[in-house]
Each structure stands twice: as structure tokens, then as C-alpha cells.
Amino acid sequence: MMDTIDVLLSEEVIDARIRELAAQIDADYAGESITLLCTLKGAVFFACELAKRITIPVFMDFIQTASYEGTQSTGTVSMKLDVPDEAIEGKHIIIIEDVIDTGRTLSVVKEMMLKRKPASLKVCSLLDKHECRVVPFDGDYIGFTIGNDFVVGYGLDVDQKYRNLPFVGIVK
């Protein structure tokens, strides 16, 4: 049976917002180069679209976290794929995420990356489910703040499905 998916954020709306975020990053890091540290798999689509619209020099790196469901501890977030310390040390890093939900994943990842002494470290997320936080966490660049619905598309999945939808939608 096919799921019904209601469009929450259209491709056009997302594209316009990504252009704004890119312009803001260009202005904030003028004269510098940056590394977009993309979290696999969900943030890949967003990271690529964002990178294409940034005009200062951009480097891309990729990490992947594994989180274990059903537990309340931040200690259960681990790295499935990591980068060497040299990829972070002395660099202007922007972690790219698809959605900040409970805040657990990014609070752990941010701490891990800060230990490697980046020149600066910020977080950019396409979506922010701000009301779902369990751990306090604020992103620096946010595409859209949304409610607590489970969303798919533009990289986000349910059981690995729907990542390739060109919009963000709510599964009914």
C-alpha cells in the first residue's frame, strides 16, 4: 500500500530558503574558507544544495552517527563514520544536519568535534523541531522550524524510504 504524503515544504520554498542561508554564510565567513561537515545520510541533499549556492571556498566532509532507540542517554550516540582530527583542527567547521529533534545527536557530535580544536564550529540544520528537545541545543543556521510531525523527503527517511522526494512532507 502506498503512503499518503502531504507536502509541508515545497521544493520552491526550500530552494529559496537555502539561497538565503548560503548568502548569510557567505557574509559571515567572508574572506575565509569553510568545511561543511555533512551528517550521513539525511543531510546529503541539503548539504549539496547549500554548497552549490555558497561562493566562498567550500570543503566537504562526511560523518555518520549511530543512535540506539529507546534509551534516554546521550552516551548512546556513537560514530559509525568519522573524519581524522586534521579535518577539523584549525578549520572553520559547519556541521550540516537534516533535522534537530531531541538534540541528543548534535550535542554529542558538537562536543566530539570541539575536542579537536576547530577554528570555529557552527551547526546548520534544514529543519528544527524545537518543541521536541530533550537536551538543550540551539542550531546557528536553521532552514525551518517545524512542529513535532514525523517528516520525510529532501534526505529524510522512514525506514530508508522517501529520501529522494524533492519536498518535505508528512506521512499520513
Task: Give the interface with ligand IMP as residue ranges (CB under 6 A).
Answer: 42, 97-106, 150-152, 156
In angstroms, what is the minimal distance from the CB of 28 to ligand IMP?
24
Q: Which residues contact 91 (CB under 8 A, 6 or more apart)?
A: 34, 35, 59, 118, 119
In angstroms, what is the minimal distance from the CB of 150 to ligand IMP?
4
Report d(CA 35, CA 24) in Å as an integer: 15
**Span of 35-43, 114-122, 125-133, 146-154 interacting with Mg ion by CB under 5 A:** 35-43
Q: What is the dihedral of CA 97, 62, 27, 99, to 10 degrees?
A: 0
- Which of ligand IMP, Mg ion, none has residue 68 at its interface (CB below 5 to 8 Å by kind)? none
Q: Among residues 101, 128, 138, 149, which one is catalytic?
A: 101
Residue 142 near residue 101 (C-beta atoms within 8 A): no
**Which secondary-structure segment (H or E) carries 52?**
helix 44-53
Binding mask 38-67 for Mg ion (x = CB under 5 A): ----x-------------------------
28 is catalytic: no
Binding residues (CB under 5 A) for Mg ion: these are 42
The residues carrying an active-site annotation are 101
